[in-house]
Amino acid sequence: MLLALVSIGLLIGFWYLATAYRWDFYIRFTHIPGPVEVYRDALALFGDPKFMTNITISLRRIMLGFIVATVLGVGFGLLIGRYRAARGLLFPAMEILRPIPAIAWVPMSIMLWPTTETSIVFITFLGAFFPILLNTMHGVATMDSVLVRAARCLGANEFALMTQVVLRGAMPHIFTGLSVGMGVAWVSLIAAEMISGQYGVGYFTWEAYSLIEYSHIVIGMLVIGVLGLLCSGAIRLLARLAMPWQVSVGKENTR
């Protein structure tokens, strides 16, 4: 805890000194705002409803894109992981699309979707979709097959098997996918907002650069960082609620 404070203190101290003395040795701190200036402007900004709108809009885009990615990623992941026919039919097509970074979809997305808003949500979705899909598939594949056999001879039909055994068994991997997917979704969202956006924290940060409001760039970056942190924290909390057996196992081991 103490070391953490020292670590953060050093970072802010370096930032302060570099900006106060206008360090210009290959890296140029000449136009970079210092921590005091940023703090002052941040206070003003947090009372500004327009700035808050930017935050809520970014969060809404993340939620929409991420929820759709979770539903489709987990759904397809379970199908592809469990049924050979689904794998044969769906997976090759997805493998072609997978290496294309979500950001590369921006121009295409703008043409595909009726509004800028939906195209940005689509980019966010793409970022989250593939990590969730692949981890779900992996979770199904690495699940102990004796559990499926046990469920079948206890009378589970295919639907019960999917929802009560395969899904539950793959859950630790699914949550890994959700964590990774959330990270990639933020990367994709910010890039999409910077390129094509109206509103959103990414747009705000880029706009600050154009408007020469340099302290707002730093504020935008910090806000993006904090929002990302909160979102991955939410996933971890959700994981703990959805998988209580893993928590109890951990407790037992540390005793």
Partner 1 sequence: MNATSVPGKGHIEIRDVCVRFTQNGVPLDAVSDVSLDVKPGEFVSIVGPSGCGKSTLLNIVAGFLKPHQGIVSVDGSPVGGPGADRGVVFQQYSLFPWLRVRENVEFGLKMKGVSRSARETKARTLLGLAGLLSFENHYPEQLSGGMKQRVGIVRALATSPQVMLMDEPFGALDSQTRVVMQEILTNMWQQLQLSVLFITHDIEEAIFLSDKIYVMTARPGRIKAEIPVPLPRPRTPEMTSSPTFLALHRQLKALIREESLAAMGGELKEGGLAGHDWHVGAEGVGAML
Query: Would you tell me the crossing angle of helices 49-82 and 201-210 to the nearest 10 degrees?
Result: 130
Which of 63, 151, 187, 222: binder of partner 1 (CB under 8 A)?
151
Instruction: Give the number of C-alpha atoms closer than 13 A to the C-alpha of residue 159, restricted to the C-beta side.
Output: 0
Number of residues binding to partner 1, judged by CB under 8 A: 22
Smallest separation (angstroms) from partner 1 to the CB of 168: 5
- Exposure of 173 by Cβ count < 10 A (0-12 exposed, 13-18 middle, 19+ buried)? buried
Residue 86 or 148: which CB sits closer to partner 1?
148
Of 150, 211, 230, 234, which one interacts with partner 1 (CB under 8 A)?
150
Supply the minimum distance, in Å, between the C-beta of residue 152 and partner 1. Answer: 4
What's the token pair of residue 127? 């970022």
Among 49, 99, 111, 144, binds partner 1 (CB under 8 A): 144
| Helix, coil or strand: residue 28 | strand
Nearest distance in Å: CB 179, partner 1: 19
Stretch that binds partner 1, among 39-47, 71-79, 117-125, 144-152 (CB under 8 A): 144-152
Is 188:125 a contact under the CB 8 Å cutoff?
no
Distance, in Å, from the CA atom of 69 to the CA atom of 118, rounded to the nearest integer, reads 14
Amino acid identity, position 218: V
For partner 1, the binding residue among 15, 152, 162, 221 (CB under 8 A) is 152
List binders of partner 1 among 234-253 (CB under 8 A).
Answer: 243, 245, 248-249, 252
Q: How many residues would you count in the chain? A: 255
Q: How far apart are the first and last CA of the chain?
A: 23
> Quick one: which of 18, 90, 141, 147 contacts partner 1 (CB under 8 A)?
147
Q: Decide if residue 155 touches partner 1 (CB under 8 A).
A: yes
List the x/- string, 186-225, binding to partner 1 by CB under 8 A: ----------------------------------------
149 binds partner 1 (CB under 8 A): yes
Cα–Cα distance, 29 to 23 (Å, whole number):
5
Task: Give me the least distance between CB of 135 and partner 1, in Å please.
Answer: 17
Rounded (5°) CA angle 69-71-77: 90
> What is the number of other CB atoms lying within 10 angstroms of the CB of residue 252?
8
Site residues (CB under 8 A) for partner 1?
A: 144, 146-147, 149-157, 160, 165, 168-169, 171, 243, 245, 248-249, 252
